[in-house]
Amino acid sequence: MKDVRFYGQGLPYRKLGNLKGHLIAIEGTDNVGRSTQIERLIPWLELQGHGVTNSRWTRSALLYDTINQAKAGHRLNMNTFTLLYATDFADRLENEIIPALEAGQVVLADRYMYTAFARSKAMGADPAWSRALFGFALIPDLVLYLKIDVEALIPRALEGKGMNYWESGMHLGYGKDLFESFRNYQRRMIREFNAMAQEFAFVTVDARRRPELIQNQLRRHIGNLLLGIEQAPAAARANGSAPDNPSPPASAK
């Protein structure tokens, strides 16, 4: 990493080695295609000789079972959930992400703390609290934001795994039925992500396009980072990424 910075207080008790690798977060709402894109990025990076670590949200050795049990039980309040997300993230950060960066790998993080920010805000939690909580997080070299609008997201969710209870915000009373709840909740999530795209200088990629085109965009941004080419988020947006207010689907240029 060129610039090792923490979001807040960091990990005061931990001596960091030289973080030679690169930390790239892929963000975006549920069903937007993050994992599919990452699966294709990995062999591409490996072919170029990079070691790659894919660090996935809620997949820490420590918390994976607990979070699933909690979801099955439907009994946790939002603060407890946010704390479990933070624990999972901290575990992966300290035991997976930082060691990989010290070993010079490219770390692709499938979701990052911004997901927790968006969710806890959509649940009505105090945003200052969840942000303070993630003060131990490393700031990524690059945050790639897969941006979509809710109308384009709906068919994708339905053709994929279907609308699930949590991704529809059913626990929050966002609508009278699953479909309505999904639309309202995801619209809210997307609004939160869009707001953070400005605040945290995400590099936005239009996720309504064909998967190959999205992949090409992602590779271009990652390629620039690995080659040490500076990229201003604003410039990236002007280069044909999604506009801030998605209007008619951006068909290929």
Partner 1 sequence: METRTSPHPYPGKLIVVEGIDGSGKSTQLALLHRWLVAEGHRVCFTQWNSSDLVRQAIRRAKRKNLLTPTTFSLLHAADFADRLSYQIMPPLQGGMVVLCDRYVYTAFARDVARGVDPSWVRQIYTLAPRPDLTLYFRVPIELALDRILRNRQKLKYYEAGMDLGLAREATQSFRLFQSRVLAEYAELVEEFGLRVIEAQQEITQQQLLVRSLVEEVLRDIRPRKLYERRALLRPRTALSKAGQP
Three-point CA angle 223, 228, 230, nearest 5°: 95
Long-range contacts of 189-193 (CB under 8 A, 24+ apart): 189/29, 189/30, 189/118, 189/119, 189/122, 190/29, 190/147, 190/148, 190/149, 190/150, 190/153, 192/117, 192/118, 192/121, 192/122, 193/27, 193/28, 193/29, 193/114, 193/118, 193/145, 193/147
Q: Could you say which of 135, 220, 226, 231 contacts partner 1 (CB under 8 A)?
A: 135
> Can residue 95 be called a binding residue for partner 1 (CB under 8 A)?
yes
> Can residue 4 be called a binding residue for partner 1 (CB under 8 A)?
no
6/44 with CB nearer partner 1? 6
With both helix axes pointing from N to C terminus, report the angle between 113-122 and 78-92 in degrees, rounded to the nearest 10.
180
Stretch of 67-75, 161-169, 190-198, 212-220 contacting partner 1, by CB under 8 A: 67-75
> Can residue 12 be called a binding residue for partner 1 (CB under 8 A)?
yes
60/194 with CB nearer partner 1? 60
Residues contacting partner 1: total by CB under 8 A:
33
95/224 with CB nearer partner 1? 95
Q: Which positions touch partner 1 (CB under 8 A)?
A: 8-14, 61-63, 65-66, 69-70, 73, 75-77, 79-80, 83-84, 86-87, 90-91, 94-95, 129, 132-133, 135-136
